[in-house]
Structure 1
Amino acid sequence: MNSPVRVALVNDHPLVLDGLRALLRPHQAIEVVELDALVPVGEKCDIALLDTHAMATNLEQEVAQRLAEPAIEKVVVYAWETDENLVRDALDSGAQGVLSKTLDSDALAEALVRVSQGEQVVETGVEPEPDLLAEAARKGRDWPGRRAGLSMRESEMISLICQGLSNDQIARSLYLSPNSVKSYIRSAYHKINVNSRSQAVIWGIDNGLRPVADREAG
């Protein structure tokens, strides 16, 4: 029997990582060795699965930095919206795959095994409609602020604001137009009852949307 694929889960938010770990837990072909938020991977792994939720750094830079870590053999990018620009930037920077969060757990595990065998895998899934996001949350794929009514995108907005990013920086980070960013921010502000960036930061800190460095065994 082949050894399981050793996977480290990487994101800025432990809550996101916990949901991803739960998603992969039933699959014997995958061994989650570590969950890493804002720290280098410590355990030797075949794949670092890089969840892009509320990632403040440039995707290409983040992939390159992770590949430079001695514990990581390959990087796979994991994102809700896998448009052609994100896929191009991820692969050009050295990622071995791009996987959509709309994949079910069986398809995700299978794709990771294929990557471990040397294949470059791009699975873009389907467009994430709001009801699909809600269903994903019920299955364990969670995000900070969901229980306060924030959508995945609104959560990213508040989290990135808490990290000091401007609207233009958020747009570049998430591959969105500036107008889309403004719309998401307005909607998020309405839901959390704030009127300014400083108020949003305070709310985000109080509700766990400012990322904290953390490492946990798989």
Structure 2
Amino acid sequence: MSRKSFTKLALVSDESIQSSILKEYLLKQLKFSIISIKIDEISQLSSSDIEETLFILDSASTTPKISEKYFNAIAEKEVITSEVLINVSTDIHAEELKKWPNLVGVFYTSDSLELLSEGLKKIQGGELWFSRKLCQELISEYRGTQTSMPKLSVELTAREKEIMQLLVSGASNSQIAESLFVSENTVKTHLHNVFKKIKVKNRLQAFMWAKNHTSHNVLP
């Protein structure tokens, strides 16, 4: 089964000694092409570059204004991104993370550079990186928003189920298209329809939905 594999990593921050040190460390540890990029420069990237890039944002310095700039820059490209938050407070709640459209990893202030490197390698291979506690909170948070919807009220077509299975495994739109021998536009259309059916807005929410419904035969 195809899994999403990022070819680029972007440290989203202004130039600083800390970001330079982190970049140098990660360059030695990972097989990524790593760049430092400012929020205002994201709009200069092509849509394909954005889809192939894992964006790392420092939670400690990402203010609401910076977050808004990031979301606006991504929205202009109409693509699905993948983000990692670092330096996250250990007492953060799932509710605070819901604003991030496609979060694939969270690293805490107490995490070492070695753990960050290990986690990024896992993410690069298509896995999500959340603590067990946070993952349980995210699933509970999602379930809490779906209590009014019966478990079996959503009917997905066979093709939609295949796409959802690949999406949950970490496959990108292009990889899903390649696996199913369809065009990328066809994949985007199916995902749009699925997201409307299951009432989610992004891949993380779709992942949580799938985890919550697999045992109910909505996804075989």
Which of the pair is proportionally richer in strand? Answer: 1
- TM-score range relative to shorter protein: 0.3 to 0.5
**Which structure ranks higher in relative contact order (CA pairs < 8 Å, sequence separation ≥ 6)?**
1
Larger radius of gyration: 2
Q: Which has the higher helix share?
A: 2
